[in-house]
Structure 1
Amino acid sequence: MIADADVAAIERATLAAVGVTDPVEIDGWLVARNPGPIRRAASAAPLSHAASLTDETLARIEALYDERALPAAFRLGDSVGLGAARATLAAAGYRDEQPTLVMVGEAAGLAGLSKQSAETIDKPDDGWRSVFLGEGFDPAEGVHRAAVLARAKDAVFARVQEGGSTLAVGVASLSEGWASVHGMRTALQHRGRGLAGGVLSALGEAIASRDVPRVFLQVEEANAPARALYARAGFVTGWRYRYWINS
C-alpha cells in the first residue's frame, strides 16, 4: 500500500521528469497540459488514491484543457478509493485505455542488477538521442521525447556503447525525494542482449551515490519483458492506472 504522501510525491516527480513546468492543482488533482505525445505530460492525476471528482471539479479541469486547445485526459489508479471518480468520468462519456503499472523499488536493487558494461553522462549527446530515432520507434515522437528528457532537472543519463555507437539509453530524474526512471530504449537490432539491465545498473549506482534510496518507474502492463526485468531488480507494483479520454 502506497501512502498518500508518496502518491503525491510520485505524481509531482513524474511531471518534473517529463518537462511539465506549470502544473495546476485543483481540488486534489494535478493537471498537466503540455502538448505533444507524452501522455503523462498532458493528463490530470489525483494526488491521493481517495480523491473525489465532482462534476464541478471535472468541469474546471476540462476548462483548463480548453484554454490550451487540448483534449482533457486523466490518469486514474484502479484503487477502490477512486471508484467514484472513475464513475464520474464514465458518466461524462470518458473511457479507459492503456493500463500502466507504477513500480517502486530501491536504488540498491538497480545497482546490482547487471554486470553489463554501461556508463553515466551528465548530458545526453547525439548518440544518446539517436537511439530514440532508430528503427522501430516513431521518429517524431522520438525527437520530442529525447528533447524533453534532456531538459529534466537534476537528472543522470546512462548509455551502453559499442564501437562508438550508442545501443541503449535511459535517464533518472531526482525530485520529491524519489528517483524516477524514464526513457529506457534499446536499439531494435540489439534487443535481447541484456543491455537495458546495464543501463539500469548504471542509473542505480548513480542514484545511490546521491543518497536517494527510493526509485519508481512506469511500464505498460502488456510489456512483459520489461516488467520481468524490473522485478529482478526487486521492484513491485505500487498501483495500476489507466488513461481516461473522452470518446
Structure 2
Amino acid sequence: MKIDADAHDAIPVTLAAARAEFDAAVTYLDTATFGLPPRRSWAALQQALAQWRAGTADAVAYDLPLAAARSSYARLAGVDPSVVAVGSQVSVFAGLIAANLPGGSEVLTATGDFTSILFPFYAQSGRGIRVREVPLDRIADCVTSRTTLVAVSAVQSADGRVADLDALHAASRATGARVLLDTTQAVGWLPVDASRFAYTACGGYKWLLSPRGTAYFTINPTLIDDLTPHYAGWYAGEDRWSSIYG
C-alpha cells in the first residue's frame, strides 16, 4: 500500500495534538477502566460548573451538547442519531430490556460477564426469566430457538476477550433471538456496527473519555414500538419544552 508522504508527515502532528489533550501526572495505561478527560472536555465541564454556580446556566442550552453527543455516538456506532438514547448507566438500559421480556424468557449470557448486564435479568426471576450462562467462546453456538435474548459484552471487562460478533449476529438471524450487546469496553477503539443488533448499551466513562453517569443506548428501529418505555420522564416529550406539564 502506497502511503502519501504528506499524510505520513501529518501522523506525528496528529498524535502530538492528541497527547496534548491530556494532563495525566503519571504514565496512564488504564483507559479500559477509567478514561481521562481531554482538555476540551475538562474546559467545557468547568464552564458548565461555573455557570451553574453563578446562576447563569440555561437549561434549554443543555440540549445542544446533548444532541451533539448523540450524533457523535451515532457515528461511532454506525446508526442514525434518532435511535440513540442517553442515560446514566448500562444497568438502567439492561433493566429496561429485562422489564420488557415476556415471562418465561430465556436469556443467554457469558460466564463471568460484567454484572451490569447480568443482574437486571436475574432480578426478573420472579416472572420466570431464566438466565443461562455459557463460555464466551461458545455463546453463538449455544443460541437456540428457545433463546429470547442474548446479553453479552462485546469485550470482556475482566480479561479483554472479544466476542465473535459476526457469529453472534448470524446466530441471532438464524434463530430470531435478540441481542443486547454491552459495548462499554469496545466503542472508541473497536469498530462496532450497532445496527446489526437489537440493542446496544455503552458506558461513556471508559474509551469515550466521558464523565461517569454518561451512557448510550441504541435500538433497532423496527423494535421501537415493541419496547415499553418504563423509565419515560419529562425529557421524553415529543416537544419537550412545551410538554413538561399535564
Question: TM-score normalized by structure 1?
Answer: 0.29
Q: Tell which has more relative contact order, 1 or 2 (C-alpha 8 A, sep 6+).
A: 1
The structure whose Rg is larger is: 2
Between structures 1 and 2, the one with greater strand share: 1
Question: TM-score normalized by structure 2?
Answer: 0.29
